[in-house]
Amino acid sequence: MNSDMADENEAGTSTLLYASAHQLFADSEAAARDMVSRPVNGEDSLAFMANLLESDTPEEAINFGAYLLPKRKAVWWGHECLRGLNHLLVEQDLAMLQLAENWVREPDEARRVQALTQASAVRNETPGVWIAYAAGWSGGSMATPDLPPVPPPPYLTPRAVSAGILGALAKVDLGHRATTLGVFVRMGIDLARR
């Protein structure tokens, strides 16, 4: 990830959207609907994400991280998780990951539209397609340029990132799945700290 992605906020401090996990659930009805687990009052977001790995629903750490990270970082996280499983991906995934990477590196409207358009054109929504959708739904309009703009709901990017990561995780041999999930969650936590 290049240096301009390391700091997405204007203040130049933490890139976490929410310092406490409780804040995230209070502000995002979608996150609250998408997850069963809840933090104890005042629990730090990154501690909550790490603790989810030890819960009855460890996959929720992916859902939580996707909502916690700013959209650009969330897309990059999904990209990097899938790149770690390159051997399990199909050519379509690799092409879609390249579109997402192009947008992350230079998040202009043309790259966002290209990711959305190409993801929408495929029939099979593989993990890489979901990551391309995440980039495409990060802003702008969901409609084609000839139609009035339709802003994507803010929950679409986190849900697409989560679908991509968890879809790829499902391809991992059952004996290695928990370890891989732990690696993914630690990657998300490390990215959140940058």
Amino acid at site 115: A
Cα–Cα nearest to 81, from 180, 193, 189: 180
Distance, in Å, from the CA atom of 145 to the CA atom of 123, rounded to the nearest integer, reads 22
For 156-167, the pLDDT digits (tens) are: 999 999 999 999
**What is the rounded CA–CA span in Å between residue 33 and residue 66?**
14
Predicted confidence at residue 15, as pLDDT, reads 67
Q: How confident is the model at residue 3 (pLDDT cuts 50, 70, 90)?
A: very low
Q: Inform me whether the pLDDT recorded for 4 exceeds 70.
A: no
How far is it, in rounded angstroms, from Cα 24 to Cα 79?
23
88-140 per-position pLDDT tens digit: 999 999 999 999 999 999 999 999 999 999 999 999 999 999 999 999 999 99
Q: Where are the domains of the chain?
A: 87-173
Question: In the prediction, which pLDDT does 86 show?
Answer: 93
- Closest residue by Cα to residue 28 from 157, 193, 185, 136: 157
**pTM metric for this prediction:** 0.91
Cα–Cα distance between 46 and 111 in angstroms, integer? 30
CA–CA separation, 121 and 138 (whole Å): 18
- Among the ranges given (27-36, 116-125, 142-151), the one the predictor scored with the smallest mean pLDDT: 142-151
